[in-house]
Chain A
Amino acid sequence: MQQTLEDFYKVIRAAGIKVSPSDTIETSRTVALVGYSDRDILRNAFQVSLAKSETEQNLVAECFDQFFSFDTFSAANDPRSDNTAEGNDAINDQQAATSEQNEVPQAQSELAKMLLEGDTASLATEMKKAAREVGLTDIWFFTQKSLYAQKIMQKMGLRDLQNDIAAMGKGDCPSSIAQAGELRNAKEYLSESVKDFVEQQLSMYGRNATRNLREDHLKSSKLSNVEQRDFHVMHDLVRKMAKRLSTQYSKKKKQDKRGQLDFRKTLRSNVAYDGVMFETYWKTKYIDKPRLLVMCDISGSVQAYARFLLLFLHSLNDVMQRIDSYVFTGNLISVKDIFEAYPVEQAIDKIMTDHGMGGSDYGTTLLDLDDQCMDDIDNKTTVLILGDARNNSLAPRTEVMQTLHLRAKRVIWLNPEPATFWNAGDSVMHKYKPYCHMAKTCNTLDHLERMLDDLLKAATSGT
């Protein structure tokens, strides 16, 4: 039973739930306590001790039902199910016939006997035994499917079965030839069942591996190369990231320097000064949230990136309260309302069709920024600009950048182009760069995450 439990933990881990060794010990104790007699109670016990949130509880229940099911080799899959009784009779007749003629070759191997008798229960047991021997629980990727299926068949005695079939087919006794045909069919059926079984096991054990592989790949591939069909996966990824970043940094509290005096704490810490209150403590605390202003270029030159930058912007909007989002090509347009009113994909499509395309004009945009938002930008605001700084040879208006640099806490420029391209062609990056606290290349999700991590860390640490 221990082995089964360990396999089950493997399944749980594959489903993405973290199970530590101490968890497994506790769970084993729990299982020992409640016993195996009642399926529902056992499931509840697993849920209670392995899961750590509501979604995980559902996952555990799902895994439990999948893992502790015994439906392989079910009657429905059996090719002979519709005429079981007849078939069996026929086999019995044949066997009776063959036993009369003693020289006729007979099915020798265990496997062949089980197949002929249609003993699905022992077949399932044999298969599970074989599966354990070949280490099926280590299966990770779908490419390993046929390999494992083959291995299991071999372990179950495929070779003997084939020998039997060959031997029986050679003779000239009609009943044994018929039996060989029967066995051949049964072999097909067996291999189908084993494949099904392997597939089912893969879906349990390999669940996470495949997803992780895909996500890793997506994270490090260039945003412009990510295809439309991966948009959903990407969306989840970005959301997860934005959420993690924001919870990590928005909870930081600071003691206020005014308000109600925390008398107890003040007294206690000033005992050393004989009760004279040198150090004061205040009751009010405030949550130090970074204020963020994000401007995203959606012009033709960064079109491939714009969708994902907007996706990220949308996710940030969801999880952070103090964020102002703007997009621009020639003018600065606030998109906060659109993000709030529409679900993500619609919002992005709407923004792209309403405001997208056209050549970018950073100069006018900066003037707009000066006009509309400069008053709101203070030494607590971080300004994030996403764009390639390709200004179509228009006036760059660096003086606005200079003011911005002076007023804002940090100005950060994320450029999808690699640094070597920054000054080539109509890029005016070199003109803006001196006024940025940080200017970096950012064209994969990994880049984005690392950047944002730095950004939020700096924003909350008060440097």
Chain B
Amino acid sequence: MKELYNDKFTSVDDIQQRFEAAQYICSEQIATCVYIAHNLQKPVMVEGPAGVGKTELAKTTAQILEVPLVRLQCYEGLDESKALYEWKYAKQLLYTQLLKDKLSELLEGATGLEQSMERIHSHDDLFFSETFLEPRPLYKALHEELGCVLLIDEVDKSDPEFEAFLLEVLSEFQVSIPELGTIKAKIKPLVFLTSNNSREMSDALKRRCLHLYVPYPDEKLESRILSSRVPELSETLRKEVVSFVQQVRELDLKKVPSISETIDWAKTLLLLHSEQLESPMVKQTLNVLLKFETDIDAMGDHLRTFISKAHKRSER
């Protein structure tokens, strides 16, 4: 394990190469963004359709920098007690029960209410100390000795209140716990926020982040990604698969297939030992690529033309 910022990226190219070595093919824009984020220690807001590798980007970055990845999955109703910290109520109760005798020992000899209170006062901080604190992802991320990559996944699913709470964390990298005071990050974590744009994030949050939009990849990039992720795939089939998926994306679908689906499909075809895209095979495996019955139906008419185009493309 190394410290987060010890390992500097020297250039944008350097990032691209190291990501490629870790089997993540990134466009120049992604690389530039990571380069800036790491050097200026700024959070990155990654937006884009589902399955284009937003989460993967954070994971790979952590892997390359050799720091732990702390992940916070957001959902409706997520609040501080689940994201930051919570007191271990049960443990606190248990301890007070168990230590009852000790408490009476402590109070021995004290006369009057005031004196007893004072004695307890001198010890009550014990019950609100880190022993009784249940750390949650954000707290963990701030406490990491060597820094970490913090992934706040699907931040658009969280409530506006939580978003407001994130502001303090992202700009100052510190949080306030009433009983303990302000806790500052030992080393600023590298933060990735991902969003599917199901709701518009507030300007205040956006302002604090670098904004990265990851679109569906173009043919060249997708082909490279596929060859890195599914290296066993023959070159002709790879070209055909990519060309086919690219054509499918042009259609008006409910859920357009993304890279993860392309990879899954390629693996499926590999498993079924196909050498070439063939109509019956494609039809049977289409459910890997498309996730809605209506989408599969909509494909029906185009299937043949898409396959023949894909064949032509791979011959070129």
Contact = CB atoms under 8 A, between A and B. Distances in A.
A22 B160 CA distance: 23
Interface in B261-294: none
Given A29-B40, A33-B39, A247-B200, A48 B207 contact: no
Interface in B157-178: 159-160
Contact of B213 (A34, A40, A57): A57
Interface in B34-89: 35-36, 39-40, 42, 47, 76-77, 81, 89
B227 interface: no
A256 interface: no
Interface in A44-73: 44-45, 47-49, 51-54, 56-57
Given A41-B28, A44-B28, A251-B160, A49 B36 contact: yes
B203 A18 contact: yes
B211 A33 contact: no
Contact of A48 (B77, B89, B206, B212): B212
A54 B47 contact: yes
A56 B77 CA distance: 30
Contact of B40 (A26, A52, A56): A26
A45 B32 contact: yes
Mostly helix, strand, loop or mixed at chain B's interface? Answer: helix
Contacts of A26: 40, 42
B248 interface: no
A44 B211 contact: no
Contact of A33 (B40, B77, B215): B40
A30 B28 contact: no
B210 interface: yes
Interface in A282-301: 283, 285
B275 to A, nearest CB: 38
B47 A48 contact: no
Contact of A53 (B40, B210, B211, B215): B211
Contact of A44 (B32, B47, B89, B199): B32
A23 interface: yes
B299 interface: no
B69 to A, nearest CB: 22
Contacts of B32: 34, 41, 44-45, 48
Contact of B210 (A18, A40, A48, A251): A48
Given A54-B47, A251-B160, A45 B36 contact: yes
B40 A264 contact: no
A44 B33 contact: yes
A364 to B, nearest CB: 42
Nearest to A283: B77
A253 B199 CA distance: 15
B77 A285 contact: yes
Interface in B11-42: 12, 28-29, 32-33, 35-36, 39-40, 42
A20 interface: yes
Contacts of B210: 48-49
A52 B206 contact: yes
Q: Which of B42, B76, B77, B210 has the most chain A CB atoms closer than 10 A to its own CB?
A: B210
Nearest to A44: B32
Contacts of B159: 253
A53 B201 CA distance: 10
Interface in A27-41: 29-30, 33-34, 38, 40-41
Nearest to A46: B32
Nearest to B213: A54
Given A33-B40, A40-B28, A41-B28, A52 B203 contact: yes
Given A44-B28, A44-B29, A22 B207 contact: yes
B206 A34 contact: no
A40 B32 CA distance: 10
A30 B36 contact: yes
B207 A34 contact: no
A70 B265 CA distance: 46
Interface string B190-222: 000000000110010011001111010000000
A47 B29 contact: yes
Q: Which of A34, A44, A57 has the most chain B CB atoms closer than 10 A to its own CB?
A: A44
B211 A52 contact: yes
A29 B40 CA distance: 8
A58 to B, nearest CB: 9
Nearest to B206: A52
A100 to B, nearest CB: 59
Q: Which of B89, B206, B211, B215 has the most chain A CB atoms closer than 10 A to its own CB?
A: B211
A270 to B, nearest CB: 13
A34 B40 contact: no
Nearest to A60: B211
A57 B211 contact: yes
18 contacts: A20-B207, A26-B40, A30-B36, A34-B12, A41-B28, A41-B32, A45-B36, A48-B29, A48-B36, A49-B211, A51-B211, A51-B213, A52-B203, A52-B207, A53-B47, A264-B81, A283-B77, A285-B76
List the 5 closest pairs (A to B, CB-CB), nearest first: A44-B32, A52-B206, A44-B29, A48-B33, A54-B213
